[in-house]
Structure 1
Amino acid sequence: MANSNVISLQGELHLAKMVSGVPAALLPVGSTPELQIAISTESTDHYESKTGLRSKDAVLYKQTGVAISGTIEEVTKENLELILSGKSIEIPEAQLTDINIGTVQAGAMIDLGHRNLSNVAFKDSSDVAITSDKYVLDAVYGTVVFNEAIVGPVKFSAKAGAKTRTTIANNIGSEYRILFKGIDTLTGDKVVMTLWRVKFSPDTEFDLIHEDFGSYSIEGEALADISKANDAELSVFGHIERFSVTA
């Protein structure tokens, strides 16, 4: 029989972005091989002065904080927003016509600014088509290298495929509601953690080259929901619940 006083947890983290103080739909973060909370305090010690022993006889806890940290392994659109402190934009496919890329130099790579291109055609300043033997096109990534200089500004037309764009570090300070749905793998008990308000740190690293599976660290601080301060069954930061499910 398992010892009910020991525990081994697994589970899944869910996040809901707070909008005007109200949580949106909870979305799963996916595989999180590491996840923990940490409680910190700031205190002042008091020492008695009656006995000559200067013994500590009281501790005043002045500030309390709750932090959360972990590792994300799945890079969904929502996770990427969290990691990069950005916003995701769905950009539909589009027909591009006569986009001016200016004067080109032989051997210089040009970023056309669009990806997943098809039906690409270039024209010179006289609207004469530039034949494909005069350039090397990477239609997937949207770059081109001309083999020879072209007189005057060059224009191109193409069809650009749909894509998801996530901006970087322009959405710092978003708040989230956290729900962790866990299971004690020893006893089968369920464990649920709720944090009412969490702000994640924008300080992070996003590896662009990996030798193994990618993983990304997240760190955040729980903020108090003072509306729950007088509720004896809740906490201003959140709580953990443990229960058994009968068959």
Structure 2
Amino acid sequence: MSKLFSFQGKVFAGDRLANGTLSRPVWAGNVPAMSLKLSTDSTNKTESFSGKRLQYGRLQKGTTAQLDITFDEWLPKNIALAIWATQVTLAADTVTAESLEADLVAGDYVKLDGQFISSLVLTDSAGTPATLVEGTNYRTESVNAGLIELLDVTSLTQPFKAAYATEAADAYTMFTAAPPERYILLDGVNTETNESVIVTLYRCKFDPVSDLGFINDDYGNFQLSGSVLYDELNAADAELGGFGRIVQKSAS
């Protein structure tokens, strides 16, 4: 019987509980590639009695496991993994009298502190403040980025003051979380035989993404690499092992 294989399936990532089990797994979305690379750190011994310097021994000094996963989907948990981020909720807000930098001239762009803005009003700093006119004194380049361009600032007193509203948003602050460790579960299927296969890796610690393309001609994705760490607790159970396991149904 053929035992060719081509795996697909859903990849879940969650936290590892103190008892070694998976907590609150979250589906990572479409994962087009996932690979496990096992290696050993070894020292070879060459004999010196035959005159041919033949290999006489091989000392195994350590084993390592590397996990590579490619993510297709821009999901909160995936982003946090990629850039070691803390997810911060930015509440909707109303901003009044935000001072812009002084000495602005026509053609200068200004980035407001907020984003996803609406109801923007710009005034100057005269004793009786004048209101800048959109289309004459400034134009809005991007309400999403909160970016404006000055057009005509003649006879206006700087610094200008901005008042506006912002919408709620989520932010991901880079390198503000500890190196992420995740329990990985692959709920897979061998598409050649239609047999189920389950892969569990108990402690996966990921490096930050090495290449995150923000502008692409095609769909974007990113790859994360990390180490599969030894789990002393699960290693005490012969049915689990210290790193992970592959499970499939027994042959009928």
Equivalent residue, structure 2, for 1:128? 130
| Pair 1:43-2:42 in alignment | yes
Q: What TM-score does the superposition give when structure 2 sets the normalisation length?
A: 0.88
Number of equivalent positions: 244
Check conservation: 2:19, 2:233, Cα contact below 8 A: no
- Specify the alignment match of 1:12 in structure 2: 10
Tell me by how many angstroms 1:19 deviates: 7.6
Question: Which whole-Å CA distance do the structure 1 matches of 2:147 and 2:19 have between them?
Answer: 44
Separation of aligned partners in 1, 2:120 and 2:245: 57
The CA deviation at 1:55 is 3.9
Corresponding letter in the other structure for 2:10: E
2:235 to 220, 229, 233: 229
What are the Cα deviations for residues 32-79 of structure 1, in whole angstroms up to 9, with x where unaligned? 111100001011223455655554343221110010002111111111
TM norm structure 1: 0.89
1:212 to 211, 215, 218: 218
- Determine helix, strand or coil for the equivalent of 1:79: helix
Check 1:4–1:162 CA distance in 2 against 1; reply closer, same or farther (3 A cut).
same
Alignment match, 2:148: 144
Gaps in structure 2 of 5+ consecutive residues:
none
1:112 corresponding residue in structure 2: 112
Partner of 2:64: 65
SS at match of 1:151: coil
Cα offset, 1:245, TM superposition: 11
Alignment correspondent of 2:207: 201
Secondary structure at 1:197's aligned position in 2? strand
Q: Deviations over 1:191-236 (max 9, x none)?
A: 1111111111114111111011111111111111122333322221
How far does the alpha carbon of each residue in 1:64-123 deviate from its partner, in whole angstroms, 9 at most, with x for none? 001000211111111111112212212121111111113232210000021221111111
Percent same amino acid among aligned pairs? 25
Counterpart code for 1:134: N
Q: For residues 140 and 230 of structure 1, do their structure 2 counterparts lie closer, same or farther at Cα, with a shift above 3 Å needed? A: closer
Q: For structure 1, list consecutive stretches of 5 or more residues without a partner in the other structure.
A: none
**Partner amino acid, structure 2, of 1:105:** V
